[in-house]
Structure 1
Amino acid sequence: MARQKNLVRRHEILRNTFILLKKRGMENVSLQMIADKSGISKSLLQSYYPHKNLLITEIVTNFMTAVLKSLNATDFKELNTYSKMKIFIYLILEQGIQDEGVERVVKSILSDRNSLDRWSQIFDNWLKDEGVKHDLGNDRQVQIGLNFIITAGGSLYIKRTELDLDADQISDIMVKTFMSTFLSIDEAKIDQTIGEAKSALQKYELATLTQTINEMFDN
């Protein structure tokens, strides 16, 4: 019973944190604000999450996991891993472009070193789950590649208006760079991968993912 109560409270804290991040962005949200919105004391909040970065990391994990689950949809399940990677990145960035609140969350993730590291780790674990990690060769090279494309892609996203870029172009750049520079995959395979991802995305309803993200802390 106590465990269930703790789980419910954690979900409530995460849901309220996500709401505040959507409204204000990470730099403008304090632990006290989260505690007040959750109807608990700051000290009780800190018994669950001693530091704000722990909360943010869990938000990032849940957010990314919600997007990854969408890759199991019928539209995507037959695609190769790198087409899915393109779709994964696109969906995250496009969510931010379409929803002002989600954009604050995405920008918070892209501006925080711990969150970027968590994104790289989630990507790395996903590649293992996909069963392709052992085919990628040098693990250090893969780690460098993931860190590079996430950091560089995040910078492009933040400056996208200035550079006149959209989510499709940024995700293309990130995946092409990873495949060509860090995995030495030939250009024809890269073009095929990107093309298959674009075709699948044309059939996908983004509203489905939007609803999943908005409800990810509801139970």
Structure 2
Amino acid sequence: MARRKNMKRRRVILGNTFRLIRENGMENVSLQMIAEKSGISKSLLQSYYPHKAKLISDIVRNLFNTLGEQVDSYDNIKHFSPYAHMKAFVYTIGVLGMHDAGLDRIISQAFTNNETLDNWGVMLIKWVRDTHLFDDVGTSQNELESGISFVTIGAGRLYHDRKKHRLTAEQLADYTTSSLMFSFCHCKPAEIDQALKDGHDIIESADMESVHTAIDTMFDEDKEIIS
């Protein structure tokens, strides 16, 4: 019973923090604001989350998990290569941030803060392992993980500077995917072109409204959360 109450309160805290940051931006949200929104004292909030960084980390983890589940459910995605799958994932992150100012505040924070940026890389590697996405790719695990860490940082920089470079979400996904394929998986140009084309076909059929709804409701009572 105590654990259930604990998780219920964490859900409320995370959900309220998520909404406050979407509305106001990370720098304009304090622990006091989160406590008041959650109907608890600041000291009680800090017994769950002593620092805002831990809150952001858990929000990013839940966002990543939700995005992963949504991308895995795209039409016919199982029929395409893991590289096309990865392109669809990167595209989904990019397009949501580029078209939703609230989500952009959270995604930008995740890509510019060293702690949360490290989390993106770790979670992406875990997602790849859990989904067995690259099991049949002829690249060593160490090289693959090094590549994922490298392109995560690069994607974050490109996302941050997307307006300066006039990047679309698909261009961001193409650069990230092709960098991994060429530099770390030693794919041939024809393989890269095919993966990017297949990734395009996946995202063309994706229901982004459903993805958006899943993110909007990821802290609802009927959803499993990570904390």
Give TM-score scaled by structure 1 length: 0.94
AA aligned to 1:145 is: G
1:79 Cα deviation from its structure 2 partner: 2.3
Match of 2:78? 77
CA distance in 2, matches of 1:136, 1:112: 33
Alignment pair present for 1:156 and 2:197: no
Alignment pair present for 1:196 and 2:194: no
1:208 Cα deviation from its structure 2 partner: 0.6
CA distance in 2, matches of 1:111, 1:27: 13
Alignment pair present for 1:61 and 2:61: yes
1:72 Cα deviation from its structure 2 partner: 2.5
CA distance in 2, matches of 1:28, 1:133: 43
Q: Is the 8 Å Cα contact of residues 25 and 108 (structure 1) preserved in structure 2?
A: no
Q: Is the 8 Å Cα contact of residues 71 and 77 (structure 1) preserved in structure 2?
A: no
1:200-211 to structure 2, matched below 5 A, reads 200-211=202-213
1:146 to 142, 145, 148: 148
Match of 2:167? 165
Cα displacement string for residues 69-108 of structure 1 (whole angstroms, at most 9, x for unaligned residues): 0122151232221111111111011001111111111111
1:114 Cα deviation from its structure 2 partner: 1.1
1:135 Cα deviation from its structure 2 partner: 4.4
Q: Is the 8 Å Cα contact of residues 74 and 206 (structure 2) preserved in structure 1?
A: no
1:181 to 175, 180, 183: 183
AA aligned to 2:180 is: F
CA distance in 2, matches of 1:127, 1:5: 32
The gaps in structure 1 that reach 5 residues or longer are none
1:23 Cα deviation from its structure 2 partner: 1.4
AA aligned to 1:116 is: L
Match of 1:118? 119
1:136 Cα deviation from its structure 2 partner: 5.2
CA distance in 1, matches of 2:104, 2:49: 24
Alignment pair present for 1:5 and 2:44: no
AA aligned to 1:213 is: I
1:143 Cα deviation from its structure 2 partner: 3.1
The gaps in structure 2 that reach 5 residues or longer are 222-227
Q: Is the 8 Å Cα contact of residues 141 and 182 (structure 1) preserved in structure 2?
A: yes
Cα displacement string for residues 94-145 of structure 1 (whole angstroms, at most 9, x for unaligned residues): 0011111111111111111111111111111122123225845444433332
Q: Is the 8 Å Cα contact of residues 90 and 167 (structure 1) preserved in structure 2?
A: yes
RMSD: 1.5
Report the 3-state secondary structure (helix = DSSP H, G, I; strand = E; otherwise coil) of the residue aligned with 1:216.
Answer: coil
Match of 1:14? 14
Match of 1:25? 25
1:11 Cα deviation from its structure 2 partner: 0.5
AA aligned to 2:67 is: V
Bigger CA drift: 58-67 or 43-52? Answer: 43-52
Aligned residues: 219
Match of 2:99? 98
CA distance in 2, matches of 1:108, 1:133: 31
Q: Is the 8 Å Cα contact of residues 20 and 34 (structure 1) preserved in structure 2?
A: yes
Taking a change above 3 Å as real, the CA distance of residues 107 and 188 of structure 1, as seen in their structure-2 partners, is: same
